[in-house]
Amino acid sequence: MLIDGVLHSNVVASQEVHAQWGGVVPELASRAHQENIVPVVQQALEQAGVTASGLTAIAFTRGPGLIGALLVGACFARSMAQALNIPLLAVDHVQAHVMAHFIREGEDRPVPSFPFLNLTVSGGHTQLVLVRSPLEMEVIGSTLDDAAGEAFDKGAKVLGLPYPGGPLVEQYAKTGDPHRFKLPVPAVPGLDFSFSGIKTAFVALVQRVERELPGFAENERADLCASLQNAIIDHLVAKVRRAIRDHDIKHVGIAGGVAANVALAVRLGELAQREGAEFFVPKREFCTDNAAMIATAGAFLLEAGVLAPLDTVPVPRIY
């Protein structure tokens, strides 16, 4: 919850139930949203020290995302905005990740200047975005198949790691040799990405050697994780380097769940320094999905007078 543009509460209801199934189950996600939305909103109001009647606008995620979960949020936001007679703000989920750079918590924190290049990388999306203003973003590169986060999670799954696997791959990779196992380098022209080849090759490697040498995946887990992570990061960094040079960029940011990967942030920071650009990454808690980024993106919409009608419907796929 924002008060005068400053974050005063950011409540997250965890959904550990998905770990039991090795991934997000849409039906379970929407049920969890229904169960948690009222107590979460109440807790956010209490932490911020305001009442519902003191709200000036309500921002919600219009999409992209799982339609069931989006419907729960949209219906609640529309009803509350109508009951309070205040503006409704429909936020693009992926653009909100970019706006996470501008979440204010009271302290002065460096933020990128417009225009800047942002790598938005998560379980569902991998995009290079040229951000000209809070409301003007151009996608100049995107994945042609799997997202980077999907490659991390699929690699983790074949290694027997629980969901979400990305953070565990990063943890094991810290003690592994990133050059132990060679994975393919995607040959994708321009600024687009492709992670299906890396994912498929990694799964095939683990399954093939595991059949020949049972226990291989567990015994070589650190090196396998380091090799997978290195291949994914190499591909991301190569595309960011090209985008910086093609568009003469001086400010580079990263956002989305995979932005919490320290190795990726370090590599991109080193790249930016070599290219004479400044590098920015949100606080770790604002990289993964969170309400603060939705509220911040909504604040920019409110300032520009871009309001949503009360019959706005969610859109599961935008890109």
| pLDDT, tens digit, 9 for 90 and up, residues 131-166 | 999 999 999 999 999 999 999 999 999 999 988 889
CA distance 11 to 149: 24
Instruction: Judge whether residue 22 has pLDDT over 90.
Output: no
CA distance 188 to 185: 9
Helix (H) or strand (E) holding 73: helix 67-84
pLDDT band at 62 (very low <50, low <70, confident <90, very high): very high
pLDDT band at 15 (very low <50, low <70, confident <90, very high): low
The residue whose two tokens read 């379980």 is 123
Give the pair of three-digit tokens for residue 267: 């590599």
pLDDT at position 264, please? 97
pLDDT at position 313, please? 94
- With 0.75 as the threshold, say if the pTM is over it: yes
Highest mean pLDDT among 22-31, 63-72, 247-256: 247-256
Calculate what percentage of the chain has a pLDDT beyond 90.
84
The residue whose two tokens read 């393919």 is 184
Query: Which range is least confidently modeled, 105-109, 231-235, 271-275?
Result: 105-109
pLDDT at position 236, please? 98
CA distance 86 to 19: 38
Give the pair of three-digit tokens for residue 111: 């933020």
Instruction: Judge whether residue 64 has pLDDT over 80.
Output: yes
Segment 10-27 mean pLDDT: 67
Q: Tens of pLDDT along 237-257?
A: 999 999 999 999 999 999 999
Angle at 229 between CA 196 and CA 189, to 5 degrees: 45
pLDDT at position 164, please? 83
User: Is the link from the previous residue into 64 a cis peptide, with omega within 30 of 0?
Assistant: yes
**CB 202, CB 153: distance < 8 Å:** no
Query: Which range is least confidently modeled, 18-32, 84-98, 148-162, 290-304?
Result: 18-32
pLDDT band at 16 (very low <50, low <70, confident <90, very high): low
Instruction: Judge whether residue 75 has pLDDT over 90.
Output: yes
Backbone angles phi, psi at 128, to 5 degrees: -105, 120
Segment 111-127 mean pLDDT: 94
* Amino acid at the residue 254: I
Q: How much is the mean pLDDT over the chain?
A: 93
CA distance 58 to 86: 7
- Please compute Rg for the chain using Cα positions: 20
Sorted by where each starts, the structural domains of the chain and their CATH numbers stand as 2-99+289-304 (3.30.420.40), 111-281 (3.30.420.40)
Instruction: Judge whether residue 218 has pLDDT over 70.
Output: yes
CA distance 111 to 107: 12
Helix (H) or strand (E) holding 131: strand 126-133
pLDDT at position 27, please? 77
Backbone angles phi, psi at 279, to 5 degrees: -120, 140
Instruction: Judge whether residue 172 has pLDDT over 60.
Output: yes
